[in-house]
Amino acid sequence: MTADVATGYAPVNGLNMYYENHGEGDPLVLLHGGIHGIRHFEALIPVLEKGRQVIAVELQGHGRTADVDRPLRYETMADDIAALIAHLGLERADVLGYSLGAGTALQLAIRHPGAVRRLIVVSQPIRRQGWYPEVLEGMNQMGPAVGEAMNQSPLAEIYPDVDWPALCTKLGDLLRQEYDWTDGVAAIKAPTLLVFADADAVRGAHIMEFWGVLGGGLRDAGLDGSGRPAAQLAIIPNATHYNVCDSPALATTVVAFLDASG
């Protein structure tokens, strides 16, 4: 990532939230996946910061944002991001979230629609059963033992301030919660791009279910495209849930969506 970056901490909802500013232009907030932090976007930020202000955030208990005495929940993390947008003096922002961050972005658009200009959801279902069964089983195993193992992982060197057992315990509790956001997602008005890997952890049938909630996949758009939905769907080739953010195709797809949406 570029060396010319402004960093800061924002006091939001009892958190001291770490964030970085890259580039100048229309604001785009990036929300990382579970366990990771901003470094997960190191292939994406240099592309996105050309012509826009990229605000990369580290969520509660992740990276350089210290944990506080409350559970991890998509709804409260969304409230944190809404408070951050207000703290930075922005009327609204484009928002890109990946996995855990995408769930947060969806809740942001549902709970604080005025804060979201355009929404990009990468590799996240709208209900818990959208994940493959083996992925759900992995979520069921998330807990303090995983956190202890994380203390010996390369990520512990990248993010040395994280309390890994505490984070993995809270993540496990969050990931075992059932949810179904179909009604809330159907009401989202912001221009939305859904992005999945062609070998994602989200079931292919659920990807189409999600797309259908936004009006996609229901009919032929016609020769002039007038029947297509306002939302867009992209499948990134030769990628998985775990490396989709490193794909040059993701960066190209996101830039094209943001540029075309005005």
Q: Taking residues 94-110, what's their average pLDDT?
A: 98
What does the pLDDT average to over 208-230?
Answer: 85
Which residue is it, tokens 């960093």?
Answer: 7
Structure-model confidence comparison of residues 208 and 221, the more confident one: 208
Q: How confident is the model at residue 120 (pLDDT cuts 50, 70, 90)?
A: very high
pLDDT at position 228:
80
pLDDT of residue 262: 59
d(CA 73, CA 76): 5
Paired with 196 in beta bridges are 235
Sequence spans of domains, the chain: 6-260
For residue 95, is pLDDT > 70? yes
Distance CA 150, CA 165 (A): 8
User: Quick one: pLDDT at residue 225?
Assistant: 74
Instruction: Read off the pLDDT band of 261 (50, 70, 90).
Output: low
- The pLDDT tens digits of the residues spanning 69-78 come to 999 999 999 9
Instruction: Give 227's pLDDT tier (boundaries 50, 70, 90).
Output: confident
What's the pLDDT tens digit per position in 10-49? 999 999 999 999 999 999 999 999 999 999 999 999 999 9
pLDDT of residue 58: 98
Contact (CB, 8 A) for 95 and 120: yes
Nearest CA-CA partner of 7 in 56, 44, 50, 61: 56
- Comparing 229 with 120, the larger pLDDT belongs to 120
> Quick one: average pLDDT of 232-241?
98
Can you give the pTM of this predicted structure?
0.95
CA dihedral 182, 184, 185, 187 (to 10 degrees): 120
Percent of the chain exceeding pLDDT 70 equals 98
Q: What phi and psi values does residue 103 have, to the nearest 5 degrees?
A: -60, -40
Q: Which residue do the tokens 């179909």 mark?
A: 182
The least confident of 49-58, 83-92, 210-219, 248-257 is 210-219
Q: Does domain 6-260 have CATH number 3.40.50.1820?
A: yes
Contact 62, 159 (CB under 8 A): yes
Contact 54, 22 (CB under 8 A): yes
Q: How many residues does the chain have?
A: 262
DSSP state of 246: G
Token digits of residue 7? 């960093």
